[in-house]
Amino acid sequence: MTGTSEDADTASRAVEAVWRSESRRIVAALTRMTGDFGWAEDLAQEALLEALAGWPSAGIPDNPGAWLLSVARRRAIDGWRRRERLEQREGLLAQELRIAEFSHPVEDAGDADDIDDDVLRLVYVACHPVLPPISRLALTLRTVAGLTTDEIARILLLAVPAVQQRIVRAKRALAVAGVPFEVPDRTERPARLASVLQVVYLLFTEGYSTSTGDRPVRPDVAREAVRLARIVRAITPGEPEIDALIALMEYQSSRFATRTDADGLPVLIADQARSRWDRSAIARGDAALARVDLAGRGLGYYGLQAAIAREHSHAPAFADTDWARIVAYYDALESLAPSAVVSLNRAVAVSMRDGAHAAIPLVAQLEPELSGFRPWHAVRAELAERTGDAETAIAAFRRAAELPGNAAEAVLLRRRADALDARRPQPL
């Protein structure tokens, strides 16, 4: 390669793809090696910069993830040399270099107090109680999901500078507190469970409905989230919300084969071929939700969402969906954990139960909180289209496409706007 602008673009896309798929394992391996979470993330970022500088002319390596990890490790060694600490680390380094670059532990945990999973350790570190809840989410999305600060800001509905500051402060707080790179013992796990489940589900959501890039789904990320949840269940028995989260993710995972069309564009649930849904995943979801029912504590935050997903999964056709029951679940969810996004989803269910006109005021009242949120505009467009207000629908579809988010989704939104526009009566 000669280092042309086209080569640079190709290298940039490759770096982004590798970071999204392997960042959690790279940062986890570096944290194990250095014992310093913040430094590990810095080393990984330095390796990314070196890739962006070198790959356009040298070419993309056969194993890009291993290349990034190798560069980051060399930088760590240089850092230790500068600190005159290399000799203290040689034994640990030798051990690290013998470990396979990206091993994938089995899904069953075995000994509940002996967890050999660096990614799970990374999640527990990022979810340490020394950090405020919103900082735990931001840090985990950065290091485990490999998202940029812009993407995290959109997911958390925060300003980009606020996200940047939270991540910097979080890493500093973990360093000051000397938080060890380990899964806490069983007495400490309950205090971190809610945060761990939250970030695992956010990780799954990033795989199920990607926030940015060209692909609308990332099944590998979603599978990693399910794997982590199963390990958390194995080491934290008797917690029905873990089973509820597993059920929710299994139900949603069952649709992956039908989530995109031949062109890679999203397919709405109403248009998906249900015969291609993964019935084994649905059965696993049923089993997990049955364990929640056996616990006798009622449905919590994830249990209510899993129950909604179960209604979709068991409806023979979209027209057979029990929208009255789904609205009732959303009513309970809105009481338990009120949020603008929950209210938006409830409004969609109300529109299916009572008609689009009934949902329009419910959506309108969410504008102050969700005006910069693509799904809000998309829902407005759907409702306007269903009520025959083509002008509003076209404007809302186009506004949704303009907002930051997944590129494939934006294509679909623009196509829907164009199709509506083409059907409008033309002035004489």
Mean pLDDT of 416-428: 83
pLDDT beyond 50 at 104: no
Q: Using CA atoms, how far apart are residues 372 and 236, in angstroms rounded to an integer?
A: 38
Predicted local distance difference test score (pLDDT) of residue 103: 41
Q: Has residue 252 got a pLDDT over 50? A: yes
Structure tokens at 92: 């640990």
Predicted confidence band of residue 205 (pLDDT cuts 50, 70, 90) = confident
Q: Which of 169-183, 295-309, 409-423 has the lowest average pLDDT?
A: 169-183
pLDDT band at 113, cuts 50/70/90?
A: very low
What is this structure's pTM?
0.74
CB within 8 A of 88, min separation 6: which ones? 80
Weakest mean pLDDT among 121-125, 228-232, 323-327, 364-368: 121-125
Give the per-residue pLDDT at 134.
87
Q: State the Rg of the chain over Cα.
A: 23
Q: Phi-psi category of 213—alpha, beta or left, where left has phi over 0 and alpha has psi -120 to 50?
A: left
Please indicate whether residue 36 or residue 291 has the higher confidence score (pLDDT). Answer: 291
Q: Per mean pLDDT, which of 15-29, 113-127, 268-282 is the most reliable?
A: 268-282
**Mean local confidence (pLDDT), 100-116:** 40
Average pLDDT for 384-408: 94
Q: Per-residue pLDDT averaged across 318-324, rounded?
A: 97
Q: What is the pLDDT of residue 111?
A: 41
Looking at 2-16, 40-54, 276-290, 345-359, which range is the least confident one?
A: 2-16
The average pLDDT across 348-355 equals 98
Whether 207 and 222 have beta carbons less than 8 Å apart is answered as yes
CB 337 within 8 A of CB 300: no
Instruction: Supply the pLDDT for residue 7.
Output: 63
- pLDDT score for 1: 47
Q: How many CA atoms lie within 13 A of 337 on its CB side?
A: 12
The average pLDDT across 237-264 equals: 93
Q: What is the mean pLDDT of residues 146-163?
A: 81
**Res. 363: pLDDT tops 90:** yes
What is the mean predicted confidence (pLDDT) over 150-171? 84
Region of residue 370 (phi > 0: left; psi between -120 and 50: alpha; otherwise: beta): alpha
pLDDT for the residue numbered 94 = 47
Q: What is the pLDDT of residue 428?
A: 55
Mean pLDDT for 216-244 is: 85
pLDDT at position 88 over 70: no
The more confidently predicted of residues 232 and 355 is 355
Tokens of 245: 């989260």
pLDDT, greater one: 350 or 115: 350
Percentage with pLDDT > 70 across the chain: 86
Q: What is the mean pLDDT of the chain?
A: 83
Question: For residue 19, with 0-12 CB atoms within 10 Å meaning exposed, 13-18 middle and 19 or more buried, which class applies?
Answer: buried
- Beta strand segments in 126-273, E: none
Higher pLDDT, residue 293 or 159: 293
Cβ atoms of 280 and 225 closer than 8 Å: no
In the predicted model, is pLDDT for residue 114 greater than 80?
no
pLDDT at residue 108 tops 50: no
Q: Does residue 81 register a pLDDT over 70? A: no
Q: Can you count the helices (H) and strands (E) in the chain?
A: 20, 0
Alpha helices in 337-406, H assignment, sequence order: 340-354, 356-364, 367-370, 374-386, 390-402
Residue ranges and CATH numbers for the domains of the chain are: 5-98 (1.10.1740), 322-428 (1.25.40.10)
pLDDT surpassing 90 at residue 4:
no
Question: What's the confidence (pLDDT) of residue 202?
Answer: 85
pLDDT of the residue at 271: 95
Residue 2 has pLDDT above 70, yes or no: no
What crossing angle do the helices spanning 340-354 and 323-336 adopt, rounded to 10°?
A: 160
Task: Give the pLDDT mean for 343-355.
Answer: 98
